[in-house]
Structures are given as C-alpha cells and as structure tokens.
Amino acid sequence: MRGRFPRISRDFPRISRGRPARVDDGTSAVRQFWAGHPRQAVAAGVVLAAVGAAVLATTFGGSSGSSRNAASRIVPPVRVPAAEFAKLRRATTYTSIPAAPRDPAPFAVTGGLVVRPLTPLVVYAGPGKPPVAVLPVTELGGPTWVPVVQSSPGWERVLLPSRPNRATGWIHTASTDRSQLDTRRSTYLVRIRVGARKLSVYHGGRPMGTWTVAVGAPRTPTPTGRTFLLALLAPPHPTYSPLILPLGFHSDTLTTFGGGPGTVGVHGWPNPSVFGRAVSHGCVRVPAAALRVLSQIPLGSLVLITS
C-alpha cells in the first residue's frame, strides 16, 4: 500500500485552542490540540510527551509498465460539482450519514495507517460510487485524523466519526497529493473489554498497561466495535476529569446528552469506587495512570471495544 515506514520524531508543537463542547457526562470543555499533528498533549498537572510521524512516501515497486497497468485499474471517482459538494454533509461527530456504508470487519485490527485531509475531501460510498459526505480538515477544533480500514488501488476506506456507529467512507487518493492529504502510521492500539471492565494499551504490539475501568450502565451501554481517538479536550476548570478523549462512536440509546450529540469518550473520574462497575452513560471512566498514557496516543489511533 505504502512504500516505507515513517520516521518517528519527538517534538513539542504549539498548543492551539478551540470552542467548548460537551461529551457524555455533559461538561463544557475547551479544546487544546497540537496543531498539525496527530498526537495531542495538554498540561493538566502532568507532563505529557508528544510524538509525531513523518509523512509516508507514496512509492510503488516494479517497472514503469507495471505502474501503468496498476494505474489503469484504478476506478475514477464520480464527478462532484461545486453546488453538490456544498450540499454534502460534513462527517463530524455532530452529523448523521445514513448512506455511509457500514464497517465490513468491525472487530478487526488495522495496519495502523491514518490519514488527515489538508483540504475538505469528498467521501464516497465506494470506488466509482456516489458521494455521501465531506471529510473536513478539523474535528472538534483540532486536526481530523481517521484510520484506514481497507484499501483498493487509488482508494482508502476510513472510519467516520458520524452516526450511525461503524460508518465508513472511501477517499480517492490516486490523484491526491501531499498538499491535500497527510498519511502516517500509528503503532498504538487501545482495547476495551466491556464485560471484564478492562482497558489495555499496546504500542507496537507490546502492552503498555491494563487498568480496571467503569463502562456504560445496562440502559446506556458502551457501544462495541472498532473506532478511534477523535480528539483531546482539556476543560479550563475540570470537575470530574482533567482530560477528555472523544471517540468516533455515539451512544446507541441516547440521541443527545448534556446538549451534545451523545459522543462516547474516555475520561478520568475522581471517585475510584466506580472502577470495575457498569455505571456511566456510555463513556469509559479510567484511572489517572491510564489517562496519562492515553493522552500520549496519536489521534486516529484504533480503539477496539468488545463485549
């Protein structure tokens, strides 16, 4: 798919601020994001490290003849006039895209490829199929990063942050250059086992830690399937958590919560007695140590939630 692995570099980009929003337990939060990077870090009483990744080179092996043959097999995208483009829904946590195809393998682990649109990109129902949405440059005030779950010549299928859960869409990449799309690879994986009330983080296949957590109550369960880290929020005056990490999932039972769209997230909780119990509105409440590790993970990284 891509020619070589990215070079990992460590740096500390500038923090930018966005508008407030609400997730699950309904607290207004000011977004603090690492502008232009898939990782996020916020000073909230702890020192967090930041990791970026160099853009993957788009190289293809073989002779020029084989390259031409591969190019000839690429399905061209359906033309989208400007007027139609303007009417397409933006794929955000606030929107619903009923026409978006569902994830064909909702419990499979990906190869870690993540993409970020540097200009709004059309999302299609499939190669050569009609458009269903537009993937915006930003999500919740920070950069949009989504995981790739399937590839076809000249196309990448990505998870979307919109309703319904497990919504996907295809991005045409054959004619998309680096000024339009940033491509990187995350080696992180977050696993949440709802029944066991456990959250585990892996880096390069190696475990970084496992913690007992709180999950959704029976009437407001935590949804299952594969999703991703959508954003990192830092309330200016934290009440129950210094950091909130919205996911690309929504409650299956609540259409709204606290004035927001019912986005499911991961966050801390001041009372440790909740850990190991099913008591939330769908969010996953984690200990402070887990929150510190999660805050270091690049946006777009896969989160696999199982029953």
Task: Name the one residue in this structure whose structure tokens are 């059309």.
Answer: 122
What letter does residue 89 receive in the DSSP assignment?
A: P
Rounded (10°) CA dihedral 145, 11, 190, 153: 40
Give the mean pLDDT of 152-157.
Answer: 96
* 298, 229 Cβ separation under 8 angstroms: yes
Contacts of 5 (CB under 8 A, 6+ apart): 56, 185
| SS3 readout for 239-286 | CCCCCEEEEEEECCCCCCECCECCEEEEEECCCHHHCCCEEECCCEEE
Domains and CATH numbers, the chain: 8-53+187-306 (2.40.440.10), 77-185 (no CATH)
Q: Grade residue 71 by pLDDT with cuts at 50, 70 and 90.
A: low
Question: What tokens appear for 74 in the block?
Answer: 């690429």
Q: Mean of the per-residue pLDDT values for the chain?
A: 82
Q: What is residue 72's predicted lDDT score, i.e. its pLDDT?
A: 61
Identify whether the C-beta of residue 202 lies closer than 8 Å to the C-beta of residue 165. no
Note the pLDDT of residue 92. 98
User: Would the pLDDT of 197 be above 70?
Assistant: yes
Average pLDDT over residues 35-48: 35
Of all residues in the chain, what percent carry a pLDDT higher than 70? 77
Q: Are 172 and 264 in contact (CB under 8 A)?
A: no
List pLDDT tens digits, range 214-263: 999 999 999 999 999 999 999 899 999 999 999 999 999 999 998 899 99
Does pLDDT of 24 surpass 60? no
**Does residue 44 carry a pLDDT above 60?**
no
